[in-house]
Structure 1
Amino acid sequence: MMAIEVRIERLWIPDSVDAADAADFLAAVEVGRKVRMDTWGSDDLAYTPLEKLLELDDPYERQVILVAKIGDEIVGTVDIALPLADNLDLAEFTLDILPEYQRQGVGRQLLEAAEHFAREEGRTMILVDTNHPGASLHEFAPEQLVPGSGQGYVPLGSREVDFAQRTGYTLQHIEQFSSCTLPLDSKLVAELEAEAQEANNGRYRLHHWTDRCPERWLEAVAALENQAGGDAGPDDDSMVFDARILREAEEVTIAQGRRTVVTAVEHIATETLVGLTTISVLAQRQDVVFQDDTVVLQAHRGNKLGLLIKVANMERLTEQFPDARVIYTWNAPENRYLLTVNRQLGFTTAGVTGIWQKELPDLGPSRS
């Protein structure tokens, strides 16, 4: 069979989606939508062109997109994300190849080009993910690949897993991907609220805000966000939040048109915040929303506070954004507590995401 001639180019980012030079950008975003339709059976997880354009303007992360062209048609993309505030040795790739061009060497050429770019930028640690809908987990159930840390598995016989292994990547960990239909059933809400209130016995009170944290709670929320990121281990160099950084992050989110719905819980006796949960709403698509961090301080666990704040926040979300019809979340399979809370709320497993890692040779100070 004659090899397909593939041309790899860096994608031009237009000033607007209506610009005369936006055609390739729109085509690249459409590749991502088609890939997600093929994987998940819907485009809920796909960017709209404007959403993607807004996301590219992020002071904490530089994004570069490479495209694979056959003739004038874009048949694959790789989004290269380079953190700017932390993890400065890291690059994260999102690789999308149109289904009809898979298994033809397009993905390998794009990945090699992305790795070369990352090396030139001084990034030596690469992360890439593979996505596996629930049906595929059962299809390949006898053949499982378990991660280097944590629980869960990916199906060993899948094309994505074969590709990741053949290109030198190692499976690091698994995230369980779940969804829940909105709005929640009112009877279920009443039952779960009663259960949570009985467990905490009037010792806690809830606080709510949208987009911007009240000044009173700023330092406490920064501390909780640091707690949420603390599970990565002592060698993790992720961003450490303080009041200033939290405010800056809020402004970036607002500038991108996104909304943030937050419920926090205060321990009344000590007047301290001991937990919070956050839901993100996209600028251009408010029917699909995303559960972000949920954290409860260790000393206050066992009081069903996670259940209390998540039920309350999902109710507030429905009040403020009545068009929201589904919420998605990713959790480590070993996080039994949050997975149990999610099941109570009605979340069902949609599939898993495998996080793969590869270490590139450091080009050193001679890099041009």
Structure 2
Amino acid sequence: MADDVRIEQLWIPDSLDAPDAADFLAAIEVGRRVRMQTWGTDDLAYAPQEKLLEMADPYERQVILVAKVDGVIVGTADIALPLVDNLDLAEFTLDILPEYRRRGVGRQLLEAAEHFARDEGRHTILIDTNHPGSTLTDPEAEQLVPGSGVGFVPLGSRDVEFARHTGYTLQHIEQFSSCALPLDSKLVAELEAEAEEANAGRYRLHHWTDRCPDQWLEAVAALENQAGEDEVPGPDAEEMVFDGGILREAEEVTIAQGRRTVVTAVEHIASGTLVGLTTISVLALRPDVVFQDDTVVLQEHRGNKLGLLIKVANMERLSEQFPDARVLYTWNAPENRYLLKVNQQLGFTTAGVTGLWQKELPNFGPSVS
């Protein structure tokens, strides 16, 4: 057990230059070190300014608890409270420096985060565990299969052991993949030809960055709603329902956070309607690291390789606009075999899996401290 563990709510400074920013910077560094240890890179870690901007997200309240040992931050619990949908939900990201694991720090942080969530009226808690590909290849290792029945996490993982011992149940797996950029020009030509042959000139591509053209606003909102329906839902999950106004607000929030959004949509020429969409996000301070967001094709237009068509085109456009981009990351449900196949064609390789865990907190009313 670690000595003198103190749990505090992190003060969020007005700027990184403020005199009271030291703890915030130290907390973000804990997250960076944990991701370096897990993935061998800090590509998935927040830059301090990026995190500071995200703290002002109007759709989600974020609170960070920190664990201090002898006055030094050695662990963090990032608590996300949705403000528009899923009002009973809290999502935790728990980061403990490797040298302080198995010393009670994580358990104390998690218990404090659960108390905080319950006081905020949140009773469904989600946490995740991350498992690099190197931990998934041992055929002798025992596996834990989620409630969805697809995929697994290694039963011998310390993170898995911690989640189970603290009362969490594995619900779902997401496959985490990466693709080097830019794509090889010969591969692009081959895949474009394959996709165009399948759709036989019946579709037309449209591109934009950051803001959707007015003429497609409601159509894109409908596609975003479809993307939410296509996702493997969490228990009792409620997805935000988009309309044109909400989509514009979401765009402004993204722009305010300094992020860029590269979009390719596909129109069915005969009907004049958008039937598919794919989106890539570019971080404000890390233009070399980009993230695949939603890819959706309406059910009645599937089978025409439109997913392949729009993803190839969007990755090409990304590389034209943001030539510093060197790697694209994505998470997919293992049930989505079509997109996984498309990603494989594009050159994505599996980097690992993320396990999504759930716990229902008893509703005892506000806790007394």
The reply to whether TM is greater than 0.5 is: yes
1:57 aligned partner: 56
2:84 aligned partner: 85
1:66 aligned partner: 65
- CA contact 1:204–1:266 (8 Å) conserved in 2: yes
Aligned partner letter, 1:305: L
| Cα gap change, 1:155 to 1:140, in 2 (>3 Å) | farther
Q: Deviations over 1:139-191 (max 9, x none)?
A: 47530000001410000001000000000000000000000000000000000
- d(CA) in 2 for partners of 1:334, 1:134: 18
Q: Deviations over 1:286-342 (max 9, x none)?
A: 000000000000000000000000000000000000000000000001110000000
Aligned partner letter, 2:324: D
Aligned partner letter, 1:151: V
Q: Deviations over 1:107-130 (max 9, x none)?
A: 000000000000000000000000
Indicate the larger mover: 237-246 or 258-267: 237-246
| Cα gap change, 1:58 to 1:3, in 2 (>3 Å) | closer
2:343 aligned partner: 342
| Cα gap change, 1:149 to 1:250, in 2 (>3 Å) | same
- The 5 Å alignment of 1:128-139 reads 128-139=127-138
Q: Deviations over 1:181-227 (max 9, x none)?
A: 00000000000000000000000000000000000000100000000
2:283 aligned partner: 282
> TM-score if structure 1 supplies the norm length?
0.97
2:124 aligned partner: 125
| Cα gap change, 1:14 to 1:141, in 2 (>3 Å) | farther
Indicate the larger mover: 146-155 or 260-269: 146-155
2:163 aligned partner: 164
1:310 aligned partner: 311
For the residue of structure 1 that corresponds to 2:205, the secondary structure is: strand
- CA contact 2:118–2:367 (8 Å) conserved in 1: no
- d(CA) in 2 for partners of 1:355, 1:337: 22
- d(CA) in 1 for partners of 2:113, 2:360: 13
- CA contact 1:150–1:333 (8 Å) conserved in 2: no
2:206 aligned partner: 207
For the residue of structure 2 that corresponds to 1:92, the secondary structure is: strand
- d(CA) in 2 for partners of 1:79, 1:362: 22
Deviation at 1:88, TM superposition (A): 0.1
| Cα gap change, 1:186 to 1:85, in 2 (>3 Å) | same
Q: Deviations over 1:233-289 (max 9, x none)?
A: 695321100011000000000000000000000000000000000000000110000
- d(CA) in 2 for partners of 1:228, 1:7: 42
- d(CA) in 2 for partners of 1:366, 1:8: 16
- CA contact 1:76–1:96 (8 Å) conserved in 2: yes
1:104 pairs with 2:100: no
- CA contact 1:120–1:367 (8 Å) conserved in 2: no
2:194 aligned partner: 195
Q: Taking every aligned residue pair, what percent have the same amino acid on both sides?
A: 83
1:294 aligned partner: 295
1:251 aligned partner: 252
- CA contact 1:125–1:359 (8 Å) conserved in 2: yes
| Cα gap change, 1:333 to 1:54, in 2 (>3 Å) | same
- d(CA) in 1 for partners of 2:219, 2:43: 33
RMSD of aligned Cα (Å): 1.5
For the residue of structure 1 that corresponds to 2:242, the secondary structure is: coil
Structure 2 alignment gaps of length 5 or more:
none
- The 5 Å alignment of 1:3-82 reads 3-82=2-81
- d(CA) in 2 for partners of 1:365, 1:58: 26
Q: Deviations over 1:62-93 (max 9, x none)?
A: 00000000012100000000000000000000
Aligned partner letter, 1:20: P
- d(CA) in 2 for partners of 1:153, 1:366: 35
Aligned partner letter, 2:216: W
Aligned partner letter, 1:130: T
> TM-score if structure 2 supplies the norm length?
0.97
1:178 pairs with 2:177: yes
Indicate the larger mover: 137-146 or 93-102: 137-146
For the residue of structure 1 that corresponds to 2:174, the secondary structure is: strand
| Cα gap change, 1:138 to 1:56, in 2 (>3 Å) | same
Indicate the larger mover: 48-57 or 136-145: 136-145
- CA contact 1:77–1:95 (8 Å) conserved in 2: yes
Aligned partner letter, 1:12: W
- CA contact 1:89–1:125 (8 Å) conserved in 2: yes
How many residue pairs align between the two structures? Answer: 367
- CA contact 1:150–1:332 (8 Å) conserved in 2: no
